[in-house]
Amino acid sequence: MREIQIGGLVSFTTIDYPDKLAAVLFLVGCPLRCAYCSNPHLIDVGDGPYDPTKMFDWIKSRVGRLEAIVFSGGEALMQGDATIGYMQRVRDLGFAIGLHTNGFYPDLLKRAEPFVDWIGLDYKATRAKYESLVGNSVAYDQMIKSLDFWIGTGKDFEVRVTCDPRFITLDDLREIIDDCAMRGVKKIAIQKYQPHFEDAEHATTPEARDQFFKDDNLRNYINSKFESVIWRE
């Protein structure tokens, strides 16, 4: 089995795992090509610059100081058994395990589930617009399979919607909200799109990016649908 390939580390964070002090490992490789990807250096499969053994030793040194280790990416499950085996070893140290995922690998999520305590799942657009945003025709259906599976586990999770005005309208956001509520999502995060790598041709305006946060009717509607709504502006 190939060793896990780690492309980045945030050694301390209070915002990437709910109510726990955490570190985040960014794994190399992603099957999607989202128009707004903020980690383009991580999406191609390749060797990660971090030595997995040294990283594990470092994680071990955080016992008693951190409470959770979050696997992010890229798409952490793309590395399959290498990721799952590493999660298991880290969990055996006593850490809670978080996973930030685009939901593309529902079968791997099922295999990883015994070692994962919480996930943050991206719901990126409506079914109609998913492919144009992520560049993959089956990504929406895969994500929904992952979402429905995780809901069935009864474990904690958060759905995240990044409001890129090039791919989401106010009506689209309502459609996503209604679908999530219908499926049984309890916690959702509405995230402002950050234009990290926009070229002039596809530039968005501050007004377009802000519209999802300024519409009081929509905001009240979303707040009424879930136990918890985080507005990441």
Task: Give CA–CA dist 59/16, Å, rounded.
Answer: 16
Smaller CB separation from ligand SF4, 62 or 145: 145
Q: Does 34 bind ligand SF4 (CB under 6 A)?
A: yes
Smaller CB separation from ligand SF4, 33 or 202: 33
Q: Choose, by CB under 6 A, the member of 4, 24, 30, 163 that binds ligand SF4.
A: 30
Q: Does 142 bind ligand SF4 (CB under 6 A)?
A: no
Output the smallest distance, CB 134 to ligand SF4, in A: 6
Q: Choose, by CB under 6 A, the member of 7, 8, 48, 73 that binds ligand SF4.
A: 73
Contacts of 79 (CB under 8 A, 6+ apart): 2, 4, 5, 27, 28, 29
Stretch that binds ligand SF4, among 33-41, 112-120, 209-217, 225-233 (CB under 6 A): 33-41
Q: Choose, by CB under 6 A, the member of 6, 24, 43, 143 that binds ligand SF4.
A: 43
Smaller CB separation from ligand SF4, 66 or 77: 77
Burial class (CB in 10 A: 0-12, 13-18, 19+), 22: buried
Contacts of 109 (CB under 8 A, 6+ apart): 77, 99, 101, 103, 116, 119, 146, 149, 150
Output the smallest distance, CB 27 to ligand SF4, in A: 10
Output the smallest distance, CB 139 to ligand SF4, in A: 9
Binding-site string for ligand SF4 from residue 83 to residue 122, where x marks contact by CB under 6 A and - marks none? -------------------x--------------------
Q: Does 29 bind ligand SF4 (CB under 6 A)?
A: no
Nearest to 193, CA basis, from 214, 166, 215: 166
Q: Which residues of 109-125 are buried (b: 16+ CB within 10 A; e: fewer)?
A: beebbebbbbbbbbbbb
Angle at which helices 206-214 and 216-225 cross, to 10° = 50
* Residues of this chain that bind ligand SF4 (CB under 6 A): 30, 32-34, 37, 39, 43, 73-75, 102
